[in-house]
Structure 1
Amino acid sequence: MNADVIVIGGGLGGCMASLSAAKMGLNVILTEETDWLGGQLTSQAVPPDEHRWIEKFGCTETYSEFRRRVRKYYKKNYPLTKASIENEFLNPGNGWVSRLAHEPKVALKVLEDMLAPYINSGRIQVLYHYRPVEAKTAGDLVESLTVGQLHTGETIELFGIYFLDATECGDVLPMAGVEYVTGAESKRLTGEPHASEEADPLDMQSFTYVFAVDYIEGGNFTIDKPEQYDFWKEFIPRFSKSTLLSWYSVNVDNPDRLREFTLFPNSQGLPALFTYRRILDVNHIEGNLYEGDISLINWAQNDYFLGPIYEVSEDQRQKHLKAAKQLSLSLLYWLQTEAPHLEGGEKGFPGLRLCKDALGTEDGFAKYPYIRESRRIKAVYTVTEKDVSKKMRGNKGICRYFDSVGVGSYHLDLHHTTVSHRNFYIPTYPYEIPLGALLPIRMKNLLPACKNIGTTQVTNGCYRLHPTEWNIGESAGYLAAYSILNQVTPHMVREDPEHLQAYQNLLEDNGIQLHWPEDIDFSHS
């Protein structure tokens, strides 16, 4: 099969890369391992992590359009209360992780609608259940990528002018011989205070198998005891004084003091984890359409950090995928049978029920694990801690790049890693996305379009979030299109001031914000 642009991976970055290239009149082939486009928002079941200014600025116009469409979808199709319909900033789940916690199926519908004109016209062809298996290269160019059908084993060789790796783990990079890094870099290499003393390519961030539950008071939906429950029930991470399955987690600001949680809102002021990633609050809805609120379970208690799922053998990969799902199942079983109630006495919440419809699966689990960290290209410019950390930047404020292709904002949030078990949560300034971080040091027609840009493990902790991945993919798609239409390479775009200005004008004309406002004091945010 042939197209101008080949996009491997149908997550948020891949969808937006495909959309922007198609808008420029190019033909696109987009592949996806599951049967759902949307990655973090859909097949991985993670409500959008966003910054405080998201309702006004700090994202691309298409991302704002997505958010408007989600709210409009609920107001048009759901029997909402009058107050909810009139709420300009409706949060369907009232989850406290996001200003727009909503059901993955709604995100899927909205994304499909945004892509529909280009898919229906054939401008974008989507191949579901395909993953990359081989790349053919000649020098600094990718000539073709072969993808395999996960169920039948059928393979298709894809030919294009540009190839975009939007996979969750940067799977195309090793196949195409792209220079990349994984896991933890050393302080000597990056100069980052929070980097490891020694590099360890297998010391990667934890990943999570998310699942959906509702709660039916008085019900009993206890699952069968999971195969690995006895192990996980007794497991105490070496970085903690408590068992993993408990109401306690490590306090990143004070490791000697644990943070305490509970399940539901309470008068004692403890954080309620059921409402943390709640995606449907029945108080918004007239009548009894839903039996109970729906929440996505993605907590510290089911972060899996005992081993990685790439850069290892297939046996190791499958072992860790199984163990991660067993951890999540064990968390659910513990919640249903043994979790202490805040008021004491009774244990367990058997009314918690797996919502098998919410995530489009038979078991109520996400179609794909939530991946926090990918292979990362060795880039023309690598973003390091000094670019974003408030402490390191001091009164210099936001790091502004001459070649910015977008903006984002989030803490440097590193979840426990697989070897050193490091974790931290560091305040940052809002950041920009430098074009240099999207350019491999050598390859000319392969671009990253997900979490695989030129960041370190430390800065991946903020560049991995939904709006940023969206922006990365969108800008990468326009970059491929600009390069094709002007017969230049992406590297030439950055090196030539006239091309760079024209490309950045293209981004701004299409609603991509390149810089943060200069009239706002972000130092106290």
Structure 2
Amino acid sequence: MLIKTWFRFFASVPLSLTIFQVFSPLTLATPPRSPDQTVECDILVVGGGLSGSAATYEALLRGKTVCLTEITDWVGGQISSQGTSALDERQTQRDKLFYPQGYLEFRERIEKHYRKLNPGDCWVSESCFLPEDGHKLLFDQLKDAAKKGKGQLKWFPSTVVKDLSIETLPNRGTGQQITSVTAIQHQPVKGTPPLNTEPLSQIIEDAYRYENSPRFDKNIIRFVPKPSKEQKLADWYVIEATETGELIALADVPYRLGIDPRSYLEPSSSSTTGDPYCTQGFTYTFAMEATEDPQTHLVPSFYAQHEPYYSYELPRLANFNLVFTYRRIWSPKEGEKETFGGITYDKPVVKDISMQNWTWGNDYRPGTSQDNLIYTRGQLQATGQLDPGGWMGGLRTDTLRKGEEHAIGYFYWLVTGTTDSQLGYGVKKPEPNYRYLTGLDSPMGTVHGLSKYPYMREGRRIIGRPSFTYEDGFMISEIDISRQNYKDAFYQNNLSPDEYRRLMATLSGLEGFKVLEGTVSPEQVQKRKRSTIYPDSIGIGHYAIDFHPCMTLSPPEAPGNTERAGERQGAGNAYPFQIPLRAIIPQKIDNLLVAGKSIAVSHIASAAYRVHSFEWSAGAAAGITAVFAKKENILPYQLVYSEPIIKEKKLLELRRILDESGNPTAFPDTSIFNDNWDKWK
């Protein structure tokens, strides 16, 4: 049954706010007070999701003191605090178990803990499990890494970064460096409810304010480098691993947000000019349990507004049992076999628990300047968040709240609904024998039952440093990874003749100059059968280009609303791809590395560079790179943007360390000598 406290959370909040209220300076924080403590680190990792955890894991194995901050009180991000504890993996990579060592270790810990890899018997993955166990198993893994490597883990849960001290240090690189970081850790005031009682939207603004409040006591922490006997080019490294790219916005380094303009590099883009407000949808997940008896479900006060959105989406998916078992995260026993839409699964049994993450369900997909979740640089300036002491996380609180309501409404639709926005009436039937799981001991670990933080598919993405071949700054683009047939009429019709010729020239390898000269026509170009190979690769990933597009109108749940036209054009299969070192090095700041979804990728490429194993690979690479750079007294950008002797010797050494430590930088048999990667499906 939906708990009464949930409705109290929203009772005092209006269903809509004016633009003036959203951008009101009243949301800004007061000036800082003096830090309560100073903490020294070799490496500061901001964000405890999978990428931040991977960076921490590798640095601990190498004996470093790592400070790890996280806005929630769980490590793991996707596998825990975001509730998406169903590992997204491609079959070929899974069959070969070709993953980073830490990711494989985590999978082994799941199997050992449950005595099976898939305790949920889900059909979307080979491993679906309880989010609370994801946190516990991963945190144990980090503690064991510290013991094994004689490193030190300094863990700061319920902590947000508020301010950066950035300075130009003479004779220490070409740019600036982060010299200290100010963060705020919050805990409940004595006599008030425990953490995870309220949903994120109700506490996030308080969490970013320096002053104590009736709800939270604050601990102001100043992170600084550990002192060293000798001066290094960088005293420490800061790794950005937040879910939305907070540090890159706070540091104001160049970045992109949302849709990139259509070009020969991003030919499937849905916009000729780009659109920073249209990012992929975010999702508050929740857990529900099959019951023996029908349950009584109270209609949420906001349900009528969101009901016009919900749908099974496609006829082949229009089956409750199929949707429930898709991401079932716990099952006490096997059910009877059932087949729908060509998919066979075990029918739900009593006590089965499922996690919900459904595009036309609890996905919330804003896409306009009135409701976008992640503020653009212009919006950050308008709200004062780029002013000293003004940073508040860079998110629109009202959209977080609407996403929370939307998810709760989806549960109510699943168990009582009879409408379907995409398939019409007569498809959806009530399913009363299910309950919504709430409480601190529930799978999501929250009183309200929603994930502690939404699953973020896309955030701010850095623009890498300019070079001879990337004059506007480095970026991994759609054509670097996609299996798309670019001879399709869409591309000839939507690109200018010059742009189309450049597209085909880029895809033609050694024939490129001939295509540009006109001695070889675009129609003669052979279809490329591999992704771009990078000499500075430091990690790998493989997944389809998977879109959850923003909606056209505001609000997203408006009756008759549609997905942004053309957004799915870029979707489809991708070749196995690499993570080049250039993609994790931002402009301007020399001791900042970027992991997770904020690396230098385009909007379309990011739809593949966002799943569990990729996040781990990017984080592990960032952690090892930071340790290597400090040990060798070299700044990461010098490995790819400096003299050839440094590039060749040091870069090869870094790649050797990554490969030999079980963090592969290339897939087997995917070199320049093999131009056909079709077996990697």
TM-score range, shorter chain: 0.7 to 0.9
SS of 2:287's partner is strand
Tell me which residue corresponds to 1:181: 256
TM-fit CA distance, 1:106: 2.1
Alignment of 1:154 onto 2:287: no
Runs of 4+ more than 6 Å apart: 340-346
TM-fit CA distance, 1:418: 5.1
Tell me which residue corresponds to 1:511: 662
Task: Pick the aligned partner of 1:373 from 447, 455, 458.
Answer: 458
TM-fit CA distance, 1:371: 0.5
Q: Taking structure 1 as reference, are residues 303 and 274 closer, same or farther at Cα in structure 2, changes over 3 Å only?
A: same
What residue identity is the alignment partner of 1:51? Answer: R
Tell me which residue corresponds to 2:87: 48
Q: How does 1:424-435 map to 2 (within 5 A)?
A: 424=568, 425-435=571-581
Alignment of 1:325 onto 2:404: yes
Q: Distance in 1 between matches of 2:397 and 2:284?
A: 13
Alignment of 1:410 onto 2:522: no
Tell me which residue corresponds to 1:141: 177
- Please report the TM-score for the alignment, with normalisation by the length of structure 2: 0.67
- Please report the TM-score for the alignment, with normalisation by the length of structure 1: 0.86
SS of 2:608's partner is helix
Q: Distance in 2 between matches of 1:316 and 1:118?
A: 34
| CA offsets 1:224-260 (integer angstroms, 9 cap, x no match) | 22222111113xxxxxxxxx223335xxxxxxxx764
TM-fit CA distance, 1:188: 4.0
Tell me which residue corresponds to 2:430: 348
| CA offsets 1:85-105 (integer angstroms, 9 cap, x no match) | 6xxxx4221212211111112
Stretches of structure 1 lacking an aligned partner (at least 5 in a row) = 76-84, 235-243, 250-257, 265-271
Q: Taking structure 1 as reference, are residues 221 and 297 closer, same or farther at Cα in structure 2, changes over 3 Å only?
A: farther
Q: Distance in 1 between matches of 2:649 and 2:607?
A: 33
| CA offsets 1:112-143 (integer angstroms, 9 cap, x no match) | 11111356777110101111111111132111
Q: Distance in 1 between matches of 2:68 and 2:325?
A: 35
- Contact preservation (8 Å) 1:405, 1:504: yes
What residue identity is the alignment partner of 1:109? Answer: K
Q: Which has the higher mean CA deviation after the structures are superposed, 474-483 or 101-110?
A: 101-110
Corresponding residue pairs, total = 483
| CA offsets 1:13-70 (integer angstroms, 9 cap, x no match) | 1111111112222211000111111001100011211111224233112111111110
- Contact preservation (8 Å) 1:192, 1:384: no
Tell me which residue corresponds to 1:6: 44
Q: Which has the larger radius of gyration?
A: 2
- Contact preservation (8 Å) 1:205, 1:418: no
Q: Taking structure 1 as reference, are residues 506 and 340 closer, same or farther at Cα in structure 2, changes over 3 Å only?
A: same
Q: Distance in 2 between matches of 1:431 and 1:181?
A: 21
Task: Pick the aligned partner of 2:584 from 418, 435, 438.
Answer: 438
| CA offsets 1:295-340 (integer angstroms, 9 cap, x no match) | 1111012211123322155797121111111111111111222247
Q: Which has the higher mean CA deviation after the structures are superposed, 386-395 or 495-504?
A: 386-395
TM-fit CA distance, 1:108: 1.5
Q: Taking structure 1 as reference, are residues 442 and 40 closer, same or farther at Cα in structure 2, changes over 3 Å only?
A: same
Tell me which residue corresponds to 1:338: 417
Tell me which residue corresponds to 2:324: 274
Q: Distance in 2 between matches of 1:207 and 1:346?
A: 24
Q: How does 1:462-477 map to 2 (within 5 A)?
A: 462-477=608-623
Q: Distance in 1 between matches of 2:395 and 2:478?
A: 31
What residue identity is the alignment partner of 1:296? Answer: M
Q: Distance in 2 between matches of 1:192 and 1:497?
A: 33
Task: Pick the aligned partner of 1:263 from 320, 324, 331.
Answer: 320
Give me the CA root mean square deviation.
Answer: 2.5
Tell me which residue corresponds to 1:115: 142
Tell me which residue corresponds to 2:29: none
- Contact preservation (8 Å) 1:133, 1:146: yes
Alignment of 1:25 onto 2:63: yes
Task: Pick the aligned partner of 1:500 from 638, 646, 651.
Answer: 651
SS of 1:199's partner is coil
Q: How does 1:87-236 map to 2 (within 5 A)?
A: 90-117=117-144, 123-139=152-168, 140-149=176-185, 150=207, 151-160=216-225, 161-188=236-263, 190-222=265-297, 224-234=298-308
Task: Pick the aligned partner of 2:77 from 39, 45, 60.
Answer: 39
Q: Taking structure 1 as reference, are residues 122 and 26 closer, same or farther at Cα in structure 2, changes over 3 Å only?
A: closer
Aligned-residue sequence identity (percent) comes to: 31
Q: How does 1:276-291 map to 2 (within 5 A)?
A: 276-283=326-333, 291=350
- Contact preservation (8 Å) 2:463, 2:475: yes
- Contact preservation (8 Å) 2:259, 2:275: yes
Q: How does 1:305-316 map to 2 (within 5 A)?
A: 305-306=365-366, 307-311=371-375, 312=379
Task: Pick the aligned partner of 2:114 from 74, 96, 102.
Answer: 74
What residue identity is the alignment partner of 1:472? Answer: A
SS of 2:73's partner is coil
